[in-house]
Structure 1
Amino acid sequence: MTKGISPRFAAALDELGLGEVAARVRSFPEATRTAAEAAAAIGCELSQICKSLVFAADGAPVLVLMDGASRVDVARVRAELRVEQVTRARADVVRETTGYAIGGVPPFGHRTRTRVLADRSLLAHDVVWAAAGTPFTVFPMEPKDLVTHAGGTFVDVREQ
């Protein structure tokens, strides 16, 4: 059975004046929790997937938007944020911070406001695909628009 768009994400789209994005959300009968699963379901390159990853930077949540073919270099995130320690956030922290479960975290429309870093690798594509609030839904958007709506800053934080 195909799952629909998350009500929380639909409300966030309306708040941002992006109601038309809801019409472009694609739902899949199988979960697209990983970038590889999402790329296979959509039929796009792995690097066209925008992963929304939550880290703890000296204990404070920070969202990193990364292309699906790359890994986050936590040392680069630490340097960018000028903090002592950066670790992956626990699943309960991700849900508490964003309002979504890991595998369905969209790049914006979160429960709380966090700092957002977006890797420049996303700019290699005209369109990227991101989670739409569930592990079964994704939506397309131009990378610059996506990062603007997320309140993010473009940085270089992927592993080389």
Structure 2
Amino acid sequence: MSEHPSISHFRAVLKERGGTGRIVVLPDSVHTAALAAEAVGCEVGAIANSLVFVGVQHDGEDVPVLILTSGGHRVDTTKVTRTIGLAALERATPQFVREHTGQVIGGVSPIAHPREIRTYLDPTLRQYDEIWAAAGHPAAIFSTTYDELLAMTGAEEIAVN
């Protein structure tokens, strides 16, 4: 059986960016942190959720914002909006997510998007030796470390809750 094209694309970008983790393709979707943690046998907090938001700039223009947060956290959008200097931070529609990441909700990876996305990383993830994140498809995840994820994404570290 051949690999889904979004996973193949992710695999190539992971290698290109120096990622050393392994990609695991599961038989079923792991579109929540709890399902992903159960699938690989780790704490929910060690799952790096890739959450796409619509960032509303002060001039009214919408821009995609990717927040990589611990599966054990909720994003405080009011706090993050102030921290990153936006007028607002709103939930993205599935169409907005797909347009800006090339991936579907539940499978959005921290990398491998058509264009660079303003990305922020929850420093709470630093406490885990191994972090797991989506690999471009709802049934695919990959392992990484905090420092590797920071380097591959070029993210800015911010407290999200």
Q: Is the TM-score greater than 0.5?
A: yes
- Partner SS, residue 71 of structure 1: coil
Kept after mapping to 2: 8 A contact 1:3/1:28:
no
Provide the residue aligned with 1:122 in structure 2.
125
Q: Spell out, residue by residue over 1:6-40, the C-alpha distance to the aligned partner (whole angstroms, 9 max, x if none).
A: 1221221233243x54xx11111111011011011
> Which amino acid in the other structure matches residue 142 of structure 2?
F
Provide the residue aligned with 2:12 in structure 1.
11
Kept after mapping to 1: 8 A contact 2:18/2:152:
no
Normalized against structure 2, the TM-score is what? Answer: 0.90
RMSD: 1.8
Provide the residue aligned with 1:156 in structure 2.
159
Kept after mapping to 2: 8 A contact 1:2/1:28:
no
Partners of 2:36 and 2:15 in 1: how far apart?
24
Q: Spell out, residue by residue over 1:98-146, the C-alpha distance to the aligned partner (whole angstroms, 9 max, x if none).
A: 1110111111111111111111111111111001111111111111211
Quote how far apart the aligned CAs of 1:153 are. 0.9
Superposition misfits of 4+ residues, deviation over 6 angstroms: none
Normalized against structure 1, the TM-score is what? Answer: 0.90
- Paired residues for 1:67-106 under 5 Å: 67-106=70-109
Structure 1: stretches of 5+ with no match in the other structure: none
> Which amino acid in the other structure matches residue 37 of structure 1?
L
Provide the identity percentage: 37
- Paired residues for 1:14-29 under 5 Å: 14-18=15-19, 20-21=20-21, 24-29=22-27
Between the two proteins, the alignment pairs up a number of residues equal to 155
> Which amino acid in the other structure matches residue 43 of structure 2?
E
Q: Spell out, residue by residue over 1:30-52, the C-alpha distance to the aligned partner (whole angstroms, 9 max, x if none).
A: 11011011011111100000000
Partners of 1:77 and 1:124 in 2: how far apart?
21
Instruction: Rate the CA distance shift 1:3–1:11 in 2: closer, same or farther, 3 A.
Output: closer
Provide the residue aligned with 2:35 in structure 1.
37
